[in-house]
Structure 1
């Protein structure tokens, strides 16, 4: 009796299970590949250098061991990992033209990206709450925002991102992909991957909507509420100098929040029309690539304490050259 055998890479309905995706990225403009490679390479170098520099300065200077800089240290660590999840793979594809990525590699990139993006949403909310206490309750700030609460808020942000993405990956791992294999994006994101699945996606779509309501709207509303209270408190300050000083302490964070959430919501909440679909990659560049680069630039160039700590560190390393 003849026994029928099936390849492990085949489904019951004889559709072949694909093992690789093709990230189309910006491949529709081959004449721009080298230019894009150089642009993204500079962005990656600036992002990594800036965030690592902020991490080193905060760790080295005792005067920066405060709640605000503790959260900034966490944000810089997050951005260092965040940008390294996407840009190295993009740079390789732009330089070599190899746009393939294994299914398991795509899952790994999606998990790391989702974990870090979710953590950033909660971390930005924690930073806004810290600024709210500093401006609206200055006399009680030191007692309220103590070391224990700082650790709880930071740890809660990292753990929340981890748990939400683990749940998502448990459902994502059940998907089967059997073609087509082209992802019209420069990294592995949920919607493009879901569209390529040849298994049922109704359950994972429902789960993603539930988790998305926890990932973005909740911390966003907390952040907005904090800043409404902050702005109201600042406007009640009688002196112009006092209002300017208060605005300067939170304006940099507000810029980061506006850029991050503005582009994030544009990509994920607006309807997927053909026009917006073409712009999605551009908007995605803002919250995945440009925001991690802007964070150290905004916080270091606009922050007097960070600049002073950096100058002290340089003087300690090169006292003779500066003296001359």
Structure 2
């Protein structure tokens, strides 16, 4: 299998190179993202490997199909960047459904603690030899309520940590798992209850056409005053302008974000020399009670190992005409996108 891996970073190359030889996969690394302008680079390959901000729309799919590309290998869980419905009967799509739920769950709680205990501010003060405690009063998480939207594997690991702290957990999911509810000790409720009763709201759901900007001016108005919003899922789940306004007004206490709705032009790149042109992103970064990472929640040794191994196993299964556990496709009978994790 000849594979071109788009949007390649040094850590991608390091971990894929560890295992590619034993899977008989010849990989060429390309630092550009896959778009219509760059898809010509895939000519002569059997498969493409892409990440969260690559764009695989109808035009790109047609070109890849024309070049003889047989397989799109998503080295991530989300597949909102690929037109899955249009790809059917043209190119097979596989993904990595769960590379390290723990890594994202752990960083989520770390971001929350940073906000509630003002850890970032405290570090900056002591580095400047300022050992005063003024402005560092935080609040306990014990006995407060967390509302979790989406109860997949990441959310489940997150809940275990929250339970250990002694927090009350509410959850919403389009496909409730009541056996899981009993096992982990949380309570399924509707979205309005999540908004009304939660001190912290954390997003752990995939991005779909139905839930884009689900956190918006209207939903924020239903939330408790001084709520904290956490997003380690997809940036488009939040209307950033509405979030900024709510933080500036004091309605929202703060936000812990690993994603941003217009991140693709900046995240994973060093913009310290060139700067950025996104005024909304600049305003978001200027807010004291905002922690914004550049989509790094997954970035651990364990996750990078799993991403490489699962991606290569997906390729192996495809080449051997085996059942593809991690295939994503459009099901005409159900009229929806299906992934075998469900």
State the TM bucket, normalised to the shorter chain.
under 0.3
Please say which structure displays the higher CA radius of gyration. Answer: 1
Higher relative contact order (CA 8 A, sep 6+): 1
Instruction: Indicate the structure with greater helix content.
Output: 1
State the TM-score, normalizing by the size of structure 2: 0.25
